[in-house]
Amino acid sequence: MCCGKNKYSANIRVYLIPFLILYTIKIYIRWELEILIEKKNALSLDEQDVLKDFRKEFFLPHDKMYMDGNSLGLLSKRAERTLLDSLEDWKTLGIDGWMNGNHPWFTLSEKIGEELSELIGALPDEVMAASSTTVNLHQLVSSFYKPEGKKTKILADELTFPSDIYALQSQLLIKGYNPEDHLIQVASSDGMTLSEEDIISQMTDEVALILLPSVLYRSGQLLDMKRLAKEAHARSIVIGFDLCHSIGAVPHRLSEWGVDFAFWCNYKYLNGGPGSVAGLYVNNRHFGKRPGLAGWFGSDKNTQFDMEHTFVPASSAGAYQIGTPHVLSTAPLIGSLEIFKEAGIERIRAKSLQLTRFLMELVQQELLEFGFVIGNPDEDSRRGGHVALQHKEAARICKSLKELGVIPDFRAPDVIRLAPAALYTSFADVYETVNVLKRIMQEKHYEKYENTREVIA
């Protein structure tokens, strides 16, 4: 019996081992074929891309896939040129650069505002390039938060960028209100997204002002700004939006929707450079009101240099400027916005959705088995410009990605943000990014790092 068993086992091994080898080879070939198909698909999409020539406009990191355009956009050759133009004006004209030269500085903020207006669906005089993001937020809230009677509260949300909350708390304190009682933050049911219904349910007769993000910075959820503005105004509430994670990636219709005010940075999708001057929007029905924070560059330009102590505000969004514009932090936007004008925000949005859809499909095919969860909305109408991958080892995975040539973005506690920018990211870049992620997980490459963020995440 024993010998018979051994003989039987031996026969099984004779037939089974070749079968397993062939099966393994078949699986491997199929896997390789799937990879080739996806790579071919990526290259085909790049060939069909109507925006592909704009990639040549940018200084791309050598041998790297740059997926962090929603934190800091890349430098374009045109932005470099217009910055150098302004330096040349300073070098050759000195103080006469304010009124002469390539791009006269005195009206530069207005000129940039006109270009920005096309991206947010506003009238040219409703938009201004000015200050920094949080300074503009302070300016706008100080101008539009007018507590009266029982209408004293500000409505925000618990997922918004921290700087917005700090500013709202400060503005409440300045007016003598306790933020713990007067700042309402709409809760999230899943820690990643918000429900418009939940926001609307909090629009009570005690709310004087609403401030919300257009796109949530962690999950990339795009809020229905048109609906929220309509609901706010039906209750006589002023509403404004932080557009930092949508401008340059998503079209807006702020004037048509009746949004009261908005503000944003210009260094993410708009590629204005680190610390680039920010932007603000004020609906023209509010023109003529005195801004909360008056400064001499908010003056009517015809009388600004009269040097009178009576403030005469500009009859446009220019009234909400405060101090002298930061010319060298504004100049790169001249060249950058030339590219946006040529590319068109609708075409940029179409490609952005294609890129993020392709990325999500590859993640679903290749990475879910390693514990990744897609944290952003799936629907195109609810998704901004980036994909949010959740993973318990997110911080150390980001470190591995950087070592292996992919530039991602980490947001605590567990989010890897990947932002393929329509103007310079290829579908092949997206494909290679997922390939690198799969290699990291298969080889456990991330285990060499601690699961803690860098000083700058």
Please report, in tens digits, the pLDDT of each residue of the chain (457 residues total).
Answer: 455 555 555 555 555 555 555 555 554 444 454 555 678 899 999 999 999 999 999 999 999 999 999 999 999 999 999 999 999 999 999 999 999 999 999 999 999 999 999 999 999 999 999 999 999 999 999 999 999 999 999 999 999 999 999 999 999 999 999 999 999 999 999 999 999 999 999 999 999 999 999 999 999 999 999 999 999 999 999 999 999 999 999 999 999 999 999 999 999 999 999 999 999 999 999 999 999 999 999 999 999 999 999 999 999 999 999 999 999 999 999 999 999 999 999 999 999 999 999 999 999 999 999 999 999 999 999 999 999 999 999 999 999 999 999 999 999 999 999 999 999 999 999 999 999 999 999 999 999 999 998 877 7
- The verdict on whether residue 251 carries a ligand-binding annotation is no
Helix axes 2-48, 345-366, angle to 10 degrees: 180
Pick one of 3.30.70.890, 3.30.565.10, 3.40.50.300, 3.40.640.10 as the CATH number of 77-343: 3.40.640.10
Strands 406-407 and 373-374 come out as unpaired
- The verdict on whether residue 245 carries a ligand-binding annotation is yes
- The verdict on whether residue 264 carries a ligand-binding annotation is no
- The verdict on whether residue 356 carries a ligand-binding annotation is no
Residue 261 contacts residue 280 (beta carbons within 8 Å):
yes
- The verdict on whether residue 330 carries a ligand-binding annotation is no
Domain map (residue ranges) of the chain: 38-67+345-448, 77-343
Residue 20: per-residue pLDDT: 53
DSSP state of 214: S
Residue 196 contacts residue 227 (beta carbons within 8 Å):
yes
Residues 6+ apart with CB under 8 A from 29: none
The highest-level CATH class for domain 38-67+345-448 is: alpha beta
CA dist 199 → 163, 186, 196, 218, 228 (Å): 20, 6, 5, 18, 8
- The verdict on whether residue 8 carries a ligand-binding annotation is no
- The verdict on whether residue 242 carries a ligand-binding annotation is yes
Residue 316 contacts residue 262 (beta carbons within 8 Å):
no
Question: Which residue's structure tokens are 């910055």?
Answer: 83
Residue 4: per-residue pLDDT: 55
How many Cβ atoms are within 10 Å of 39's Cβ, its own excluded? Answer: 15
Residue 457: per-residue pLDDT: 73
Residue 436 contacts residue 406 (beta carbons within 8 Å):
yes
Task: Identify which of 342, 115, 137 has the alpha carbon closest to the alpha carbon of residue 247.
Answer: 115
- The verdict on whether residue 164 carries a ligand-binding annotation is yes
Residue 456: per-residue pLDDT: 78
Please check whether the two domains, 38-67+345-448 and 77-343, share a CATH topology: no
- The verdict on whether residue 160 carries a ligand-binding annotation is no
Residue 10: per-residue pLDDT: 57
Dihedral sign from CA coordinates of 249, 106, 134, 141: negative
Question: Which residue's structure tokens are 């019996």?
Answer: 1
Residue 261 CB burial class (10 angstroms; 0-12, 13-18, ≥19): buried
Residue 31: per-residue pLDDT: 46
